[in-house]
Amino acid sequence: MQDSKMILCDGCGQKADQEHIARRLKRLERMTRYRPIHVQALFLRAVSPAADAAHLYSAEGEFRGEGLALLRVLGIDLAGKSVEVVLTDFQRRGYLLAHVLECPDGSADGKPAAELLEKRLAATQARVRRSLKPKQVVLLGREMDPFVQQFTKEAVGAELALSPGGHAYRLEDLALGSLEALIRVTPVASL
């Protein structure tokens, strides 16, 4: 692909073609549809899943991957409910899932995810502070651990929820239904 047809994506900071931008805008549109007016808890992961089916807001028919894992640890009942009903419940609770790199890993620039995360962190923090304005930020996934201190140092106007070990929560380590209680009970550090 010629560089003249590449533009800088504001979701991941990478050079991107029209297909990349269209996919990012579609995911953003779906997420915005279920964005709560007042964000109580922002669940923040490092990188958006590569498969649309694993992306919470892109689910069709059933939840998979990251989206399914988050709903399970939050104790959100999926039995006999449509995707729309479940996402509306998620929204009513004031929950929002976002990613530092809003586009899946697989950089057109060939840069490692850690380098891209580092570069996008300031923009993500500004977005949290200026636009999303959550009451609480819940970091999810091992990839977010190197950035815990940067989140605690930045004044984003929210509380930071961390695991008892002081690192980001691991969805795979949490019992079904346990995260909602943990983010309410666990002492939080002011951002």
| Tokens matching residue 185 | 């009970």
Q: What is the pLDDT of residues 96-135, one digit of tens each?
A: 999 998 877 654 444 567 788 888 888 889 889 999 999 9
Contact 70, 176 (CB under 8 A): no
Helix segments in the chain, DSSP class H: 18-33, 65-73, 83-92, 113-127, 148-153, 178-185
Q: What is the pLDDT of residues 11-66, one digit of tens each?
A: 676 777 778 777 878 888 888 899 999 999 999 999 888 888 888 998 888 899 99
Residue-level pLDDT at 154:
59
Tokens 């996934």: give the residue: 141
Helices 65-73 & 178-185 angle (0-180, nearest 10) = 60
Query: Exposure of 100 by Cβ count < 10 A (0-12 exposed, 13-18 middle, 19+ buried)?
Result: buried
Which 3 state secondary structure label does DSSP give 15? Answer: strand
Q: Can you give the pTM of this predicted structure?
A: 0.86
- Quickly count: other Cβ atoms within 10 Å of residue 165's Cβ: 9
Contact 31, 37 (CB under 8 A): no
Q: Strand 159-161 and strand 136-139: pairing? A: parallel
State the virtual CA torsion across 16, 21, 22, 28 in degrees, nearest 10: 150
**What's the CATH code, domain 3-190?**
3.40.470
Spell out the domain ranges in the chain.
3-190
Residue count of the chain, please give it.
191
- Higher pLDDT: 139 or 186? It is 139
Q: What is the pLDDT of residues 142-177, one digit of tens each?
A: 999 998 988 875 556 788 999 988 999 999 999 999
